[in-house]
């Protein structure tokens, strides 16, 4: 019977394929992804595809269907089993696979799942995902044949490679919040081999996520880690998202070290080896980050939010390090240019062990600003990009200092505010940063008035200020 499959249109996203299991995502979709992605790999001259999956309850069945589809298109599939997304990236890059697919719902609720892909060692996103949907809908795939599938445990090689770049000079006391993520087994074996005293919270891989939601960018999800750091008098605490490609960090006082602050710490270290190098951060990052990178002799580059977009820009510019507010940290210095929370943790441990004082001293020495957290509010998919265009046009007509790298980021005497359309959800995302509370209030008023001018009700910003 000839192959043809239509995906739920909401599942084909900018950076991945994602949906609610049993509603917008089914094993038939996984089979179609395997069938079509493998066809694309084969038509590009490849054959070898690596597949992994995370700890969600639906992941084994989706992986099974995915592999069947890829094999039917003639691919040679290597199944690396359950583990963190970066281990799949490592398997792909280290062994020169032609394609790679991770079954993962990332940091989404337990009933979600999805697929992150690479082709020829590069992110597979945007137009490529849309093309996969088109080929599947038209049945334009390789004739049914019989490829092969083998199982391979790459975890020992991955752990060995992570440890190769550990460069600590004194043992540390560290608390790790695995958050029941897919890193669990790898993390347990990793900390056994690291010097110091290590405590792992919620180390068991559990797709129910019974302890807290697996997203380390949300303050309430870090409360267990903060308490444990204080109780253990630890040097730092480290948290992962559901598939361990994003990292969260707290210092010895239990204060959250946000993604852009972490990037300052890492950039100062990397720039000692790569003076003058380009360091990339997304448009949501603090101005302090860009200023501190310049002060350390680097070339700061503000770029679009989205892990696939950042990875692509790194390759273009030869950047050794990049990061996002969301906790995606990308190393091309000694590593392979992909986002890996376990690897970022290893590098952070080395740096903290060499600091002259505690990590909180480093944080205290950064300039103080007041910021909003990332503010998200609903806006129809058909309207969200129009709103950004309208706001940009009005600001330019007023002579404002506007960057349009990704949405609008407006610089004023008080600081800056940002409004961008999410590429993955029907929401607008806003953020603002100022030197003091009064300045932040003025920035929030400016943002609210622009939203209202486009016919949107501004969200309630009260109580949304935080030190940074």
Q: Which of 40-54, 262-276, 423-437 has the lowest mean pLDDT?
A: 423-437
pLDDT at 462 over 80: no
Listing DSSP states for 406-431 in one string gives SSEEEE-SSEEEEEEE-SSSSEEEEE
Query: What mean pLDDT value characterizes the chain?
Result: 95
Residue 464's pLDDT is 54
Question: CATH 3.30.310.50 residue ranges in the chain?
Answer: 370-467
pLDDT-above-90 percentage for the chain: 91
Q: Are 262 and 323 in contact (CB under 8 A)?
A: yes
Q: Are 279 and 331 in contact (CB under 8 A)?
A: no
Write the CB contacts of 126 (distance below 8 Å, at least 6 apart in sequence): 14, 15, 308
Please choose, from the candidates 346, 337, 343, 340, the residue with its C-alpha nearest in 3D space to the C-alpha of residue 93: 337
- Tokens linked to 92: 């792909």
Average pLDDT of the residues in 228-232: 98
Q: How far apart are CA 87 and CA 132, in angstroms?
A: 24
Catalytic center residues: 106
Q: How far apart are CA 321 and CA 285, in angstroms?
A: 14
DSSP assignment letter at 24? T
Q: How far apart are CA 19 and CA 105, in angstroms?
A: 8
Q: Express each pLDDT in 136-182 by its tens digit.
A: 999 999 999 999 999 999 999 999 999 999 999 999 999 999 999 99
- What CATH superfamily classification does 157-364 receive? Alpha-D-Glucose-1,6-Bisphosphate, subunit A, domain 3 (3.40.120.10)
pTM of the entire structure?
A: 0.95
Q: Express each pLDDT in 59-109 by its tens digit.
A: 999 999 999 999 999 999 999 999 999 999 999 999 999 999 999 999 889
Residue 376's pLDDT is 87
Task: Kindly report the CATH class assigned to 9-153.
Answer: alpha beta
Q: Are 20 and 8 in contact (CB under 8 A)?
A: no
Q: How far apart are CA 9 and CA 109, in angstroms?
A: 20
Question: CATH 3.40.120.10 residue ranges in the chain?
Answer: 9-153, 157-364
Q: Express each pLDDT in 183-224 by its tens digit.
A: 999 999 999 999 999 999 999 999 999 999 999 999 999 999
pLDDT at 466 over 70: no
Residue 371's pLDDT is 92
> Is the dihedral angle over the CA atoms 454, 456, 460, 465 positive or is it negative?
negative
> Could you name the CATH architecture of 370-467?
2-Layer Sandwich (3.30)
Exposure b/e, 229-265, CB count within 10 A at least 16 = b: beeeebbbbbbbbbbbbbbbbbbbebbbbbbbbbbbb
């Amino acid at each position: 019977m000839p192959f043809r499959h239509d995906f739920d249109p909401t599942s084909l996203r900018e950076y991945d394929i994602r949906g609610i299991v049993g509603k917008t995502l089914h094993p038939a979709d996984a089979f179609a992804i395997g069938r079509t992605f493998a066809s694309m790999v084969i038509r590009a001259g490849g054959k070898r595809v690596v597949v992994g999956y995370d700890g969600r309850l639906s992941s084994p069945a989706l992986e099974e269907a995915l592999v069947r589809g890829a094999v039917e298109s003639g691919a040679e599939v290597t199944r690396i089993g359950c583990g963190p997304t970066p281990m799949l990236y490592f398997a792909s890059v280290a062994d020169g696979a032609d394609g790679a697919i991770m079954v993962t719902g990332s940091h989404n609720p337990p009933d979600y799942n999805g697929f992150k892909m690479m082709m020829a060692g590069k992110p597979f996103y945007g137009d490529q995902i849309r093309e996969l949907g088109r080929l599947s809908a038209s049945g334009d795939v390789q004739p049914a044949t019989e490829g092969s599938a083998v199982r391979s445990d790459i975890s020992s090689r991955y752990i060995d490679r992570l440890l190769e770049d550990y460069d600590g000079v004194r043992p540390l006391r560290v608390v790790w919040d695995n958050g029941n993520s897919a890193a669990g087994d790898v993390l347990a074996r990793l900390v056994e081999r690291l010097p110091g005293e290590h405590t792992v919270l919620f180390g068991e891989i559990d797709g129910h996520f019974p302890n807290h939601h697996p997203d380390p960018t949300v303050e309430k999800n870090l409360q267990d880690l903060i308490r444990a750091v204080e109780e253990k008098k630890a040097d730092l605490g480290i948290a992962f998202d559901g598939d361990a490609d994003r990292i969260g960090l707290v210092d010895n006082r239990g204060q959250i070290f946000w993604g852009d602050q972490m990037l300052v710490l890492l950039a100062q270290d990397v720039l000692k080896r790569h003076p003058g190098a380009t360091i990339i951060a997304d448009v949501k990052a603090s101005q302090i980050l860009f200023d501190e990178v310049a002060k350390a002799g680097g070339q700061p580059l503000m770029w679009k939010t989205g892990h696939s977009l950042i990875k692509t820009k790194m390759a273009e510019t030869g950047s050794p390090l990049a990061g996002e507010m969301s906790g995606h940290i990308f190393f091309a210095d000694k590593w392979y240019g992909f986002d890996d929370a376990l690897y970022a943790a290893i590098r952070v441990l080395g740096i903290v062990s060499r600091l002259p004082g505690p990590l909180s001293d480093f944080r205290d020495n950064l300039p103080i600003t007041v910021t909003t957290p990332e503010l998200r509010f609903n806006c129809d998919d058909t309207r969200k990009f129009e709103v950004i265009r309208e706001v940009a046009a009005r600001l330019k007509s007023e002579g404002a200092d506007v960057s349009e790298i990704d949405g609008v980021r407006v610089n004023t005497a008080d600081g800056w505010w940002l409004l961008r359309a999410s590429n993955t959800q029907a929401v607008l995302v806003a953020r603002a940063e100022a030197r003091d509370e009064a300045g932040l209030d003025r920035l929030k008023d400016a943002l609210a008035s622009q939203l209202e001018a486009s016919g949107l009700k501004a969200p309630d910003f009260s109580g949304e200020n935080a030190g940074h």
